[in-house]
Each structure stands twice: as C-alpha cells, then as structure tokens.
C-alpha cells in the first residue's frame, strides 16, 4: 500500500488532518488501533474555540455543530460562594461553542467515510520505519495479516500513550512536564444543566466545574485526590460534593440523575520538543498535554494540524518545504502560550494539598483582582476564546 501522508490515530488531530488534506486532494490514510465504537464513545473535551469550529466548517463536518452546538458568550467563576461573570464576547468580541469531543469525532469520521478517506480501524502493532530517510513506511497488523504502508510523511496523532513519540530516542528531543497533586472526577448525566453557562468554582474543599453537552445533558467535574478510585465516589457523594462546591443558585438549580459515564483523569502539563523528526510530525496529545481547566487540549490538536496541513499543502502544491520546516516552531509557540494559560487557570481555581497560607492569600488576592479588573478579565477571556492563529 502507498499514500502521501500516513496518519497514526483517529482522534480529533488525526481525523481533522485527514479531512484538511483530503479536501485539498492530498492522499492520506488513517491507521487507528481501536474500533470505531470505542473511538466514538470516548467522553473527553467539551469546549471548542471558534477557530476550531471554523476548521470543521472548512472540511464540511460542521452541520451538526451548527445545529446542536451551544454558543456561549461567557462563563461564571464562583469564589467561596460568590459568583461573577467573565463576559467573553463583551471583552474580546468572541465566544466559544460547547459541543462534545465525542460529537466532533463522529462528525469527522462520517465526513471521511462519505468522502472515501482511507481510515483503518483495528490497526494493531503500528510501527514507524525510516523516519529520517526519504522513504519512510509504517507496518501494522490488519485483517489477520502484516501490512506495509509506504508514504512521504507520517503524522503522529496517536495521543499521549501512542507509539510515535515513544519510538523516538530520548536524546532526539526534550520533554517538559509538571504533574499536579490531584485529578478530575468527571460525570455525564441525562439532566438539564444547572446554569445556562459554564461555572468554574474555587472552593475550600476543592475545584468544581459545571459544564454541559446539550440543554438536557450535563457534564460536571470535581477535583479529587490522586489516589481516589471510582468506587470511592458514589453518585450520591458526587452530587452532594458538587452542590457544596458550586453552592448557591447552582446547587438549587442542579438536577440529580444517574451517571451515564464517570471517569477520573490526572492533571498534567507536558510538552515534547521539537514536534518534527525527519519525516515524522507530532500533533495533538502525542506532543503535548494540558490540564483540562482551560479547555485547550482539543483546540491545540486542531491548531497543530492546521499548521501541519498548511505546510503539507504548500509542499505538494508548490514544492516549497518552508511550511514544514516552520511547523514545529509555529506549533510550539501556540502550545506554550496555552500551557501557560492552562497552568495559570488551574492554579487560580484549584486548592492544592501543598498550598501554604501565603500561597492561599496570593490566590485569593488574584481572584479578587480578577473580579474587579476589566483588564484582568480581558486577559483571561482572550486566552480562553483562543489566541490568534
Ligand atoms: P487522542 O488521544 O484523542 O487520540 C489519539 C488516537 O490515537 C486514539 O484514537 C488512539 O486510540 C489512537 N492510538 C493511540 N496509540 C495508537 C497506536 N499505537 N496505533 C494506532 N492508533 C493509536 N481536553 C479538553 O479540552 N477538555 C477536557 O475536558 C478534556 N478531558 C479529557 C479527559 C481525558 C480522560 C483525556 C485523556 C483527555 C482529555 N482532554 C480534554 C484532552 C483531550 O480532549 C485531548 O486534547 C484530545 O483528545 C487530543 O486529541 P488527539 O491529539 O487526537 O489525541
Ligand atoms: C467539558 O465540558 O468537558 C469541559 C469544559 C470546560 C473545561 C474542561 C472540560 O475547561
């Protein structure tokens, strides 16, 4: 088998890249280790920057997003029970779209299948070969046999635990990491949201977030201990904790319902530099991870593949390699700004076990400043809606 761009992974990064290339007539093939049901069933991100929504429109995968996406012009912060709003559109002229990553993945898979983009599920044992040469290739098992896919370039879109970055010798790159002393316990419930916008809460018992997937489906998170297990958190305990941490009107408006999904995710900041290694380009979680507080993970995956697609299109259309040579530098410039924002917003909204009284006073002062300063709120808002590409 042969293609121009072999894409490893059918998450948002790999799927969006495949469609950005396909609509420009550039051959590619997506190799995904899991089956379609698993990929479409993963519950993850919920907030799209407008730039991400625009990319979905560019590849013709936005009809359900336009019909069901919830346009949000602000969100609320609750600090020790007191709520104040960050008016995103008033402060920046832009908002965000609340639309589950699950739906984004479904829309991109559907667009690819309708166009006939080669997308192989259940591709096991993917291995990358000769990424430093002029004829890289990928081997994998599929349909009971060993397959070889020859290509010009490989896009490693296989997430944090994928093989693309793992296959690189450590001395070829630099990893930067911060692991937080807590995780997020997330719940999905068929229950109307408790508020018409998202609520981020800094409470003495820990962080909580009230989000949503639709007007009838809610998504909530509470900060939990690193060693917490799902069996430690009954639905009742979780709903009670959410009511305490979100407090006031949110607690009164909250509709409790059985969890249809419950999961714990660790909080981590991670960047691997550079994002290019010969004919291999890393994109999305394969290259970086942000704590979900700033809702940047999915949106960074989208901006990475936008830059990568621009470089590949320029190479195949005009034979110019400058876009590919600039990819890592351009992507990392945006990644590090999102890492900084996500780290800052996590520190502002969470109570960490090792936070001493001085740190807590600084946090309280920063929240008080944010509440009272349009300039401070504008800084938060322009990072949240997404910095210019
Ligand atoms: P993904 O991990 O989504 O996709 C990688 C794909 O590659 C997967 O389908 C995987 O099966 C496949 N793959 C892996 N190894 C392979 C191999 N060897 N061969 C072939 N295929 C392989 N972001 C937010 O903004 N908000 C959130 O609330 C949020 N919550 C999250 C919760 C969890 C539990 C996790 C893990 C992440 C969360 N994120 C969140 C971040 C998340 O949305 C990512 O940023 C986003 O999925 C990145 O997309 P990809 O880079 O495509 O990676
Ligand atoms: C979500 O709805 O899953 C979500 C929203 C905002 C965040 C993180 C997660 O910051």
Laid out side by side, the sheet with 119-120 consists of 119-120, 28-31, 5-8, 153-156, 280-282, 276-277
232, 255, 251: which is closest to 242 by C-alpha? 251
Instruction: Find out whether the beta carbon of 101 lies less than 6 Å from any atom of ligand 1.
Output: yes
In the predicted model, residues of the chain with pLDDT beneath 70 are none
Ligand 2 atom nearest 294 alpha carbon: 10
Q: Return the best residue to mutate from 104, 125, 158 for the ligand 1 pocket (most ligand atoms within 8 A of CB).
A: 158
Cα separation of 308 and 170, whole Å? 23
How many Cβ atoms are within 10 Å of 384's Cβ, its own excluded? 25
Instruction: Find out whether the beta carbon of 247 lies less than 6 Å from any atom of ligand 1.
Output: no
Ligand 1 atom nearest 184 alpha carbon: 32
- Is 88:385 a contact under the CB 8 Å cutoff? yes
Q: Considering 203, 277, 288, 296, which one is annotated as catalytic? A: 296
The single residue listed with the structure tokens 């394969």 is 286
Bridge-based pairing state of the strands 153-156 and 280-282: parallel
Number of alpha carbons in the 13 Å side-chain half-sphere of residue 178: 11
Q: What burial class does residue 381 get, using C-beta atoms within 10 Å of its C-beta: 0-12 exposed, 13-18 middle, 19+ buried?
A: buried
- Is 45:297 a contact under the CB 8 Å cutoff? yes
Residue ranges in 87-219 assigned as alpha helix (H):
88-92, 101-115, 163-166
* Residues contacting 249, CB < 8 A, separation 6+: 83, 195
pLDDT at 110: 98
Buried b or exposed e, range 244-260, using 16+ CB within 10 angstroms: bbbbeebbeebeebebe
* Residues contacting 25, CB < 8 A, separation 6+: none
Instruction: Find out whether the beta carbon of 386 lies less than 6 Å from any atom of ligand 1.
Output: no
pLDDT at 80: 80
Number of alpha carbons in the 13 Å side-chain half-sphere of residue 381: 24
How many Cβ atoms are within 10 Å of 353's Cβ, its own excluded? 9
pLDDT at 312: 98
Query: Could you give the domains of the chain?
Result: 5-70+99-177+268-346 (3.50.50.60), 181-266+352-385 (3.30.9.10)
Query: Does the CA dihedral 113-119-120-121 come out positive or negative?
Result: negative
pLDDT at 343: 98
Q: Considering 220, 292, 327, 350, which one is annotated as catalytic? A: 292
- The rounded Å distance from CA 358 to ligand 2 centre is 29
């Amino acid at each position: 088998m042969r293609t121009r761009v072999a894409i490893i992974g059918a998450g948002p990064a790999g799927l969006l890249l495949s469609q950005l290339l396909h609509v420009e007539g550039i051959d590619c093939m997506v190799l995904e280790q899991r089956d379609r049901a698993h990929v479409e069933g993963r519950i993850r991100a919920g907030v799209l920057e407008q730039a991400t929504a625009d990319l979905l429109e560019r590849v013709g995968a936005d009809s359900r997003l336009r019909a069901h996406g919830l346009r949000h012009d602000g969100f609320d912060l609750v600090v020790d029970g007191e709520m104040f709003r960050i008016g995103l559109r008033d402060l920046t002229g832009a908002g965000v779209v609340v639309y589950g990553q699950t739906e984004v993945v479904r829309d991109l898979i559907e667009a690819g299948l309708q166009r006939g983009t080669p997308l192989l599920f259940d591709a096991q044992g993917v291995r990358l070969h000769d990424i430093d040469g002029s004829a890289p290739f990928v081997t994998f098992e599929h349909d009971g046999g060993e397959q070889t896919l020859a290509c010009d370039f490989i896009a490693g879109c296989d997430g944090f635990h994928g093989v693309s970055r793992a296959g690189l010798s450590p001395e070829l790159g630099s990893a930067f990491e911060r692991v937080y002393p807590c995780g997020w316990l997330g719940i999905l419930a068929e229950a109307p949201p408790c508020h018409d916008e998202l609520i981020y809460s800094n409470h003495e018992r820990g962080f909580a977030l009230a989000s949503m997937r639709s007007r009838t489906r809610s998504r909530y998170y509470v900060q939990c201990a690193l060693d917490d297990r799902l069996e430690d958190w009954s639905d009742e305990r979780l709903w009670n904790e959410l009511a305490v941490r979100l407090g006031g009107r949110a607690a009164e408006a909250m509709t409790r319902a059985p969890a249809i999904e419950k999961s714990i995710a660790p909080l981590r900041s991670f960047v691997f530099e550079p994002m290019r290694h010969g004919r291999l380009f890393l994109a999305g979680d394969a290259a970086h991870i942000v704590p979900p507080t700033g809702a940047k993970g999915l949106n960074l995956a989208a901006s990475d593949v936008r830059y990568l697609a621009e470089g590949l299109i320029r190479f195949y259309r005009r034979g110019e390699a400058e876009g590919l040579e600039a990819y890592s530098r351009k992507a990392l410039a945006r990644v590090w700004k999102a890492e900084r924002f996500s780290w800052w917003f996590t520190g502002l909204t969470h109570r960490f076990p090792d936070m001493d009284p001085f740190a807590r006073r600084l946090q309280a002062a920063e929240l008080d400043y944010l509440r009272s300063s349009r300039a401070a709120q504008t800084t938060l808002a322009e990072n949240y809606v997404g910095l210019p590409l």
